[in-house]
Structure 1
């Protein structure tokens, strides 16, 4: 990772807006959490950012992810098999004395973690349902409701989300997965920025594959 004294880089410490609410959260270097974001039991890798009014719980987010505003990651499920779906059945302590939290239901929720790979873009207002896995390089369209796993380097949209098209041809996606550029040292990424900006994906791979 970048040396904090290297003048090529900004301060690598995570940037957290004062209105954000974080509990049990681990953030990587250069990560950013914007206004009124709520995160609980979430890990987020280096360079990833999440925009205003988004929420996430029980999730692992990779590096270089771009998460737009009003996104919901691991949307709360309710126990439909019980007499009532209301939270009175799993958080009765909010209404009655001497009635505790249903830790069994909480454990069920915690077991359905969401996994988001590296270089994933999640559009405005998208909802990621419990237990979903999103592969590296995927794109989630605005207002999509993701109810099934998303393959790497694919674009999905809609409610429920469906495949729109691959982001790149399969051969390019495979080479990008092998390149794993998100694991490069920050110094290497710094050097690659001009090529990221100017070269086609084919030319970039030809130059940087090792």
Structure 2
């Protein structure tokens, strides 16, 4: 579904395939997947939010794509808009000139911003107040600590924290992470997720029942 304006009144806390929006929010030229939730004070601009992902209060997305099953905490900001600091001034009157009755806007700046999108994979948790800078890619299963400033790409299933953000540890050993990622469970349909809920609560059971073994993953990578 594509949304071009702030959408809908507050809804009940129970979610549904339709996006759940808690006003006030601002959503422009963006897409929200099924079972998504957007809490109050959030702004989404030219971005896409995957199925089951939730955005807590005051999140800001600019030119960002967030995969499925994302968890984005309050006050996080993904893809904050850059100013052109190579000009005599960084102030936006040089590209939003019409606002100041100084002439036509400079669309090249908006194109420049759009060319530096943030890409976030599936099952990524972004902590409270974290900032992900333009052009960064975050892999599946990664975790970004509260208050972190992410200036470089984050490998899948890696926990990063700090300013600038640096790897702290792996969420799982590399072999286990590869087996989980190989299931591509985020693409399972709603009924399958519900049927396999107990396995999602037990990593050993999930690996035993649904993940290919390490040898099969290694062979797939080799092919």
> After TM superposition, is the score higher than 0.5?
yes
RMSD: 1.3
Query: CA offsets, 1:87-137, max 9 Å, x none?
Result: 12221222124x122111110000111100000000000001001100000
Q: Indicate whether 1:183 and 2:193 are aligned.
A: no
Q: Tell me the CA shift for residue 11 of structure 1.
A: 2.5
Alignment partner for residue 113 of structure 1, among 110, 117, 129?
Answer: 117
Greater shift, 171-180 or 87-96, is seen at 87-96
Q: Distance in 1 between matches of 2:18 and 2:158?
A: 31
Structure 1 gap segments, 5+ residues each: 1-8
Q: Which runs of 5+ in 2 are unaligned?
A: 1-13, 213-223
Work out the CA distance in 2 between the residues paired with 1:64 and 1:100. Answer: 41
Partners of 2:15 and 2:37 within 8 A in 1 = no
1:29 is aligned to 2:34: yes
2:128 is paired with a residue of what secondary structure?
coil
Length-normalised TM-score, structure 1 = 0.91
Give the corresponding residue for 1:4.
Answer: none
1:205 to 194, 204, 207: 207
Alignment of 1:14-163 (within 5 A): 14-97=19-102, 99-163=103-167
Query: Deviation of residue 209 (structure 1)?
Result: 2.6
CA contact (8 A) 1:172 1:202 kept: no
Please name the residue that 2:7 is paired with. Answer: none
Question: After TM superposition, where is structure 1 displaced by more than 6 Å over at least 4 residues in a row?
Answer: none
Normalising to structure 2: TM-score of the pair?
0.86
- The higher-RCO structure (CA 8 Å, 6+ apart) is 1
How many angstroms does 1:10 deviate by? 5.4
